[in-house]
Amino acid sequence: MSQTSISPQLLFQRAPVSAKDEAVFIGKICVLAILTAAGIVLAVQSSYAATAVGVVILGAAYTHAVELQHQCLHHSAFRSSRMHRIVGVPLGTPMLVSYSHYRVRHLQHHRYLGTPKDTEFFGFDTRKPLALGALAKGLFDVSRLVGVVRDIVQCVPGRWQYDMGQIAPKSRKAIIAEYRWFGIFLALLATAHAVDGGSLVVRLWLLPFLVAMPMHFLVELPEHILCDSDSVDVLRNTRSISGSWFTTWFTNGNNLHIEHHAAMNVPINRLRERHADTQELALNVQRTYFEFFTIVMREVSRNRKVAA
């Protein structure tokens, strides 16, 4: 496995959460609340066009919420560590992403990236050749939903066990509690569906959920795909995309993924200042998402020709 001999001063430096960082994150939560409220107002309109726009906005809000949850996983949003789970659990609820389960798996992903022990929570296999079929399957990750249902069923009676190593009893207890909450959440949705004939549940959750699934996949895809998956060097096995203010906001800095892996506890809003180091030293840096997806489609085309 290759390692870099360069150690830039800023890129790998840790940074604690400041009062300003916390205020920035709270501001992001407020923007999410406004976005969600706008989506709800539009989704319940009688006009099909307004409903469609509202559904897309809600899908985008649910996707963005998971990216905000990701920051909570790293305890880089609030100065109080306790606040991260309090905020992180509801952020993941619309997409049925357990905060505590995601946190355990994701921190292992950071520790073991570039090794066979990598345990990323969203399971697209970046080591396999890119093909349209694999991408289409990833857009709607049915296997994750099956896993969520299985975890709910196992957690209700408390039989759930972590299957990717050992975790603390406190973490296991938190995970069980969150999947039980998802069971209650789905039961409430089913009840609401039965009471009002299903219109509100379909407009405010089911259709936005179906929009959010591929949206979230496309946000996550650039992180490590077509990088050196046999290297433990973050400058080789991870990708950053310079992006615009909009893509940086919507992905909550997920485009600056090398910077994030280099120092995972640094507040997301402070990653941009490290991007110059990444541009100078890293192997996989694109200017825009359009540039990245062009590379992906070229690779898909090349693999299709090889297979033929």
Per-residue pLDDT reduced to its tens digit, 149-179: 999 999 999 999 998 888 999 999 999 999 9
Q: What is the mean pLDDT of the chain?
A: 93
User: Residue 4: which pLDDT band, with cuts at 50, 70 and 90?
Assistant: very low
Flag whether pLDDT at 208 surpasses 50: yes
Flag whether pLDDT at 143 surpasses 60: yes
Mean pLDDT of 7-33: 93
Q: Which residues contact 221 (CB under 8 A, 6 or more apart)?
A: 124, 138, 296
Convert the pLDDT of each residue in 251-264 to its tens digit: 999 999 999 999 99
Q: Which residues contact 137 (CB under 8 A, 6 or more apart)?
A: none
Six token digits for residue 176: 């069980």
50 exposed, middle or buried (CB, 10 Å; 0-12, 13-18, 19+)? middle
Six token digits for residue 13: 């430096």
For residue 273, the 8-state DSSP code is G
Flag whether pLDDT at 1 surpasses 70: no
Q: What are the start-end ranges of the H helices in the chain?
A: 19-43, 48-73, 81-92, 99-112, 132-139, 142-155, 169-196, 199-201, 207-220, 234-237, 245-250, 257-262, 275-281, 289-307
Mean pLDDT of 76-94: 98
Convert the pLDDT of each residue in 228-249 to its tens digit: 988 999 999 999 999 999 999 9
Convert the pLDDT of each residue in 282-296 to its tens digit: 999 999 999 999 999
Contact status, residue 123 vs residue 141, Cβ threshold 8 Å: yes
